Structure 1
C-alpha cells in the first residue's frame, strides 16, 4: 500500500500561524518530523500525512491552545492551499464547488475521502473519511478540515452560508464554544460514527462571485493530469461499518436502512460502498454476528435465548442455524 501524502501547503498554513504566534520554526520542524523547508515549500512538494498530523499535535502543545484548529481556520485565505481552492472557487455555486472537492481531493491530500452521503428533501450530508491516522493529530486535522470547508465558502459566496449540522467521531471537548463560533451552528455532535458536514440545499444554490467556467475547465484538466493516486482505503471503512452493525444489534435495529442512517448515508450509498469493497450487506452482517458469537463463547457456551439476543435474530431457530453453519 502506498503511503498517504499531503501537499506541503496543507501543513504550511498551520505552521505559519504557529510561527506568527511565537513558536520557533526549527523546533516545529524537528518535533513534527517535517523538513524545515515545509514553511516555504511550493505546491509541487508533498510530505507524509503522518508528519502533517504530528504538526497539529506539536502546534497545540506549543501554543497551549485546545482551540488551535478553529483559530487557524478562522484566518483562512483563499488560495492558501493552491489549486484545490481555485477548483472550488471557480464553480458557479457553493454546491458545485463542494462537488469538486471529492474528485480532486488528491490535489491537496491522498489521506482523505470527501463524498456525499445522506440526502433528504432539504439537506445534503458529506462524509469525510481519513485513511491513515489516529490520536489528537487526527482530531485537530479533522476539525480544521471541516472548518476550512466553511471558511472557504464564506470567502466566495454572494450570501453567508453555514452548515446545518456537524458530526465528529472524536469525543466531546470540555467546551466547544469556539468551534460553534467558527462553524456558525450549535448543532455539533461528538462521538458520532462518522465525520460529516451537512448543508441546506437552499444554501448549496448560493452563487459564487468568483465563478469562472473557462478557468474551471482548465483547472480540472490540470488536476486530473497531475494529482497523485490515493492509497487504498484498507479496512478502515469496513471496520467502521462492523462497529456500527454491532451497535445496531445491541438495540435490535440491525437493518440495512437503519444502519445506513446511523452512518449518515442513504441505503443506495451504503450498498454502493459495499460493492466497492467487494462485499454485501448480508456478508458483513453475518461476519459481525459470527465475531460476536465467538468472542462471547470463549469461556463457555451461551444459552439459546442469550444466543438469539446477542446475534439479533427474531427466533432461536435462526440463531441455531447460524451457529451450526459457523461451526462446520
Structure 2
C-alpha cells in the first residue's frame, strides 16, 4: 500500500513497519530502557498525548491522528541498520523470545492479538479465523490455542491450509470447496449455530461474506484485513444482524501482554529468513508470489542473533 501511494507516503521513506533490535542510545527523557536492552519497536512515533484517543481508554491510543508518523509508513522504518523509535511505544523482549520471532510480532502479531482481545472469546469457546494460514492468521491460530480457545481455520491456499493445521487449529477448512461446504463444516462443530466471533484477515473479495456466513445470528465479525472494499451481503447485516467492527494494531500495553503470552507458551513465528538489505528484492518477490508460508524477515546483524543463541538465553 505504501508503494502504491495508498498511505500518502512522502518519498524517500525507509520501509518496513516491523522491527526488533538492540538499543544503542536513548533520548534524555527515556527512563524505561537502557542501551543493550532488546526491544520490539512500536509503529507509532510520538503520539500527541492530548487527543481524545491518547487520553481515552488505553486500547485506543494507537488511533492517535496527530502523531509524528507511522514507522515505515509515513516516517522512516526498519529496513536499515539503525532506526529511531518511540520509547513509549516499544516493548522489552522477554529473554526466551528471539529477534526473529519478535520482529514480525511488531505489527502482524500485535494486529491479530488485538483482534483476539476484542473478541473476548473465552477458553473452551469457538473462534473462526478467515485467512488462517497467512502471516497474521497463523499467529492468530497459535495465540488462540495458547489461550485455550477452540479454533476453526479457513484458507484457500495449500500452504495456508498446511500452516493452519501445523498451528494447531481444531478444524481446518478449505474455502475453495465453496461457501456451502465451509458453512456446513463450521455448523458441524458449533451445534448448527456458527461461531460467535470471526476474525477476518483475508483480503479476498469473498472473505467478508464467508466470515459473516459462518458467524451465528447476532454475532460479530472483526475486520482486520485491509482490501480496497469490504463487501457484505445485506442479508447478513439486516436479516441475521451480524455486527461488524474494525480493528487496528495493538496498544503498547496490549503489545507487551502479547509478548508475555509468546514467552509463556513458547510461541514462535514461521519465518522466511533473508540476509541483509541486498536480499530485500527477493523477500518482496516471495511475499507477492502468494507462496510464502508465514512472514518474511531481513536479518541485518547476524552476530547479534548468533551470540544470543550460543549463550542459550533465547531460542
Short-chain TM bin = under 0.3
Which has the larger Rg?
1
Which structure: greater helix fraction?
A: 1
Report the TM-score when normalising by structure 1. 0.26
